[in-house]
Amino acid sequence: MKKNDLTFNKNKMKKYLLLLLSTVSYYTNAQTMFAGSPDGNIKTTVTISSSGELSYTVTYKNKPVILSSSMAFKFKEPAVNLVQFDHLKTDTVTYDQSWKPVWGEYNNIRDHHKELKLYLKEKTSGILLNVIFRVFNEGVGFRYEFPEQTTLTHFVLADENTQFHLAGDHKTFWIGKIDQCLFSIRHHRRYTPNV
């Protein structure tokens, strides 16, 4: 073997080693939170990458249902992208209570789920965002919550970039896109479509 070949192989090995170390570092710095259904069959995993990108997965009996799917927003007003977050804290709660509907087929409905609530702060704008996952024996739901804050009193949503990367070719149903919505934090949960 020639000296140049050895030098080339050493340089190539250094590059591979550097790539491997950076990949391990990326995943090592990621933060991962879990929430499972009360019966343990459904598991939701939420990950905040080392760069602050938020994603989630869902499994049922250890089989993937939703593969890694990103969660992000783009505002028109103020002109800001909510894609990279600092993780402030996490709360987990288990609910097991019943309630009586005013009308319907059932006299009593059991609300039994585990909740995972992430408190986040967008890295560049400082906008606060909470993401709340609820995991039931029958499925998973999540919602976004913009807590009251002085830096954000209203916003116009340009794009809601939440992904649903299904693990199979499933039949899906959804509500169509609303072109432009004005959300006001001051008028708690008021939603006014711009028509």
DSSP 72-96: -EEEEETTEEE--EEEEEEEEEEEE
What's the half-sphere exposure (Cβ side, CA atoms, 13 Å) at 7? 3
Asked if the model's pLDDT at residue 77 lies above 50, the reply is yes
In this predicted structure, the answer to whether residue 25 has a pLDDT above a threshold of 70 is no
179-191: pLDDT as tens digits = 555 554 444 444 4
pTM: 0.74
Cα–Cα distance for residue pair 44/83, rounded to 1 Å: 20
Query: Which whole number is the average pLDDT over 10-20?
Result: 59
CA 69 vs CA 46, 57, 119: distances in Å = 10, 7, 19
Inform me whether the pLDDT recorded for 125 exceeds 70: yes
CA–CA dist 131, 191 (Å, integer): 19
**Is residue 52 situated within a structural domain?**
yes
**Beta bridge partner(s), residue 148:** none
In a domain, 170, yes or no: yes
Between CA 174 and CA 172 the distance in angstroms is: 7
Position 164 in a domain? yes
Domain containing residue 148: 31-193
Alpha helices in the chain, H assignment, sequence order: 3-28
15 located within any domain: no
Query: Residue range 107-114: average pLDDT?
Result: 94
Q: Domain for residue 160, yes or no?
A: yes
Q: Is residue 94 part of a domain?
A: yes
Question: How sure is the predictor about 119, in pLDDT bands with cuts at 50, 70 and 90?
Answer: very high
CA distances from 95 to 113, 135, 136 (A): 5, 10, 10
Nearest to 90 by CA among 50, 120, 112: 120
Q: What is the pLDDT of residue 154?
A: 87
Sign of CA dihedral 84, 88, 89, 95: negative
Q: Say yes or no to pLDDT of 17 above 60.
A: no
**What CATH number is given to the structural domain containing 69?**
2.70.98.10
pLDDT at 4: 55
Total domains, the chain: 1
Whether residue 92 is contained in a domain is answered as yes
Higher pLDDT, 44 or 153: 44
Average pLDDT, the chain: 82
Structure token pair of residue 20: 């491997």
Q: What is the pLDDT of residue 153?
A: 87
Q: What's the whole-number mean pLDDT along residues 16-35?
A: 65
Whether 13 maps to a domain, the answer reads: no
